[in-house]
Chain A
C-alpha cells in the first residue's frame, strides 16, 4: 500500500520534516481503469446493436420521423399532455387542499377520490369516461330529485379528445394530490409559526414562505408524473384517439415495419422527456435558492468560509 512506500524511507532516515511538504494524490486504482474498459465495451456493443444493425432499418426511421402523419400524431400527444397536465395539476391542488382542510366531510371526499383513482388502472379510467353515456345517458346540472337547470346528452360532451383529457387529468389529479400533500407535510412547522407571528395571511404564507419550499421538494416527483403522462397518452389509443403511438401502430399494421416505426415513436418520446427534464432542472435551480451551495459574493467571504456550516 502507498502508505508504506511513503512512510518507510523517511522512517528509515529519520527525516520527518520532509513528509509534510509532499503533495497528496489519490492513487489510480485498477477498478478505476476497469470502469473505463467496461464503458468502452458497452459503447461499442451499443453502437453495433443500434447503428450498424441493418434490421433496425434507419432509412425507414429517417423517412417517417418527420412525416406529416407522425408529426400530426406527435402534436396530438403534446396537446393532450399539456391540457391534461394543466387540468390534472389544478385538480391535484384542489384535492390536496381538501385533504388538508379543517372540514371532515371534505377530507373524506378527497380521500375517497384518491383511493378510487389509485385503485383504477388508467386504461379502465379512460374507457369508463368514454363510455359514460352507458351509465349516464344525459349530463344535467341541478339538485338530486329535482328538475335540472341544464341538461345535455352525454355523447355530445364526450368526444375521444375530451374523454382522453378527463381520464388522464383525473388520474394525474389523484397522484399529484398526494405529492402536493406530501410537500406540505414536509415543511417544518416552524415556518408556519413564523408566518403566523409576522401576521401573514394563509395566502401570503403559501405564496411567499412555504410555497417555494414545497415546490423545491416536490419537483422531482412531479416531473416523474409529467413524463409518465407523455407515455400514458398512448393509453387513449383504446378509444381510437390518434396520438403518436397510435399513429405508428396504424402505419406498421400496413407496412409491417414494426421495429422501425416503434423506434420513431421512442425517439420522439426521448425528445419530449428531455424537454421535461430540462424544465425540471431549471425549476430545481430556481427553487434551490438558499439550499444549494453557492459562492458568497460579499467582501467578507473569507471570514464566512471559516464559519461552521448549518443546514436545517
Chain B
C-alpha cells in the first residue's frame, strides 16, 4: 500500500542573484518520519527549510503538502503567487523553530505560545492560555510560564519556541539548527525535547550539525552540498558508510 507522501519537494530551485542556493532539490517526507538535513554551511539546508515555509520564494520546481502546491497557483500556461491569505493558511501547516529562537521579547512565555492560537486560529484567550501552560509543561517549563524571554536561558527560550510552534498544531515541524546558538550544556535539554516529539510521531525536518543526534532519531539523513542532495538514506548507511568521497570527508571533519 503506497500512501500519498505528506510533504514532497520536486526540483526546487532558489537563486540569490547569481548565487544558486538550491539547484534542483527533490525530497519526500512520509507522515510520522524524521528527516535530518546535514552538510557544510552554505550548502542550502536552511534555504531549503525557509523555502518550504514560504519565507523565501522559490524560483523553480514546487513544494507539495498532501498534494497541494504551496505558494503558487496555476494560471493558464504559468504559475502565480497565491493571495497572502492563502499563503498564511499554508504556512500554518508548518511549525518553524529558528536557530536564534525569535521569541517576542515583550511577551511572556505563555503569551508567546498563545499568540498564534489567539490571533490566527481564533481560539479563546483563556483556552489558549490553558493550552500554552500544557505545552510549556510538556517541554519542562511549568515553572517559567510567566517569565519574559530575557529572563530565560537559551535552552529554555528554545523550548518555549518549540512550544510556540506546537501550539499551531502543525502537520510538519521544521527545525533550523535548533541548538547551534546554545552553550554546550544547554544543547541536551533541547535535543531531549525534540527526541520526545519524534517518539510521539511528529513529522519533522531538521537542519542540524549534531550527527550523533541525527543517527539517533532520524529515519532518513539527507546530505546537501552546493544546493544539491549528494547522499540520502537511513542514518546508519549515510553516516557510517557514505558512498561519496565528499560525504566521507564531511563526516570525518565534524565528528571529531
Contact = CB atoms under 8 A, between A and B. Distances in A.
Contact of B153 (A190, A196, A307): A307
Contact of A199 (B98, B116, B153): B116
Contacts of A310: 150, 152-154, 157
B113 to A, nearest CB: 10
B140 to A, nearest CB: 13
Interface string B91-130: 1101110101111111110000001100110000000000
B56 to A, nearest CB: 10
Interface in B139-197: 143-144, 146-154, 157, 164-165, 168
A193 B116 contact: no
B66 interface: no
B116 A200 contact: yes
B80 to A, nearest CB: 16
A264 to B, nearest CB: 43
Contact of A191 (B91, B104, B119, B144): B104
Given A208-B115, A310-B150, A200 B120 contact: yes
Contacts of B151: 296, 304, 307, 309
B98 A290 contact: no
A289 B116 contact: no
A299 B120 CA distance: 33
A271 B57 CA distance: 54
- Interface core residue of A197, A213, A289, A291 (most chain B CB under 10 Å): A197
B148 A289 contact: yes
A213 B152 CA distance: 19
B256 interface: no
A287 B116 contact: no
Contacts of A190: 98, 100-102
Contacts of B104: 191, 194, 209
A191 B161 CA distance: 12
B120 A198 contact: yes
B106 A287 contact: yes
A303 B84 CA distance: 45
B27 interface: no
Contacts of B119: 198, 200, 204, 208
Given A196-B91, A198-B115, A198-B164, A291 B147 contact: no
A4 interface: no
A290 B102 contact: no
B168 to A, nearest CB: 7
B138 interface: no
B106 A300 contact: no
B182 to A, nearest CB: 11
Given A198-B168, A304-B151, A309-B150, A290 B107 contact: yes
B75 to A, nearest CB: 20
Contact of A194 (B88, B102, B120, B147): B102
A55 to B, nearest CB: 53
A201 interface: yes
A62 B102 CA distance: 57
B92 A300 contact: no
A194 B98 contact: yes
A214 to B, nearest CB: 11
Nearest to A195: B104
Given A190-B100, A291-B106, A197 B120 contact: no
A9 interface: no
Interface in A209-227: 209, 212-213, 216
B88 A290 contact: no
A200 B117 CA distance: 10
Contacts of A209: 104, 115
Contact of A201 (B53, B88, B153, B154): B88
A304 B147 contact: yes
A204 B100 CA distance: 22
Given A190-B102, A213-B105, 7 more contacts: A191-B104, A194-B104, A197-B96, A199-B120, A200-B88, A209-B104, A304-B147
Interface of A: 188, 190-191, 193-194, 196-202, 204, 208-209, 212-213, 216, 287, 289-291, 296-300, 303-304, 307-312
Closest 8 pairs (CB-CB, A-B): A190-B102, A198-B116, A194-B102, A290-B148, A197-B96, A199-B92, A290-B106, A199-B120
28 contacts: A190-B100, A193-B55, A193-B96, A193-B102, A194-B102, A194-B103, A197-B55, A197-B96, A198-B92, A199-B116, A200-B88, A202-B84, A204-B119, A212-B106, A213-B105, A213-B106, A290-B105, A290-B107, A296-B147, A298-B143, A300-B144, A303-B143, A307-B152, A307-B153, A309-B151, A310-B152, A310-B153, A310-B157
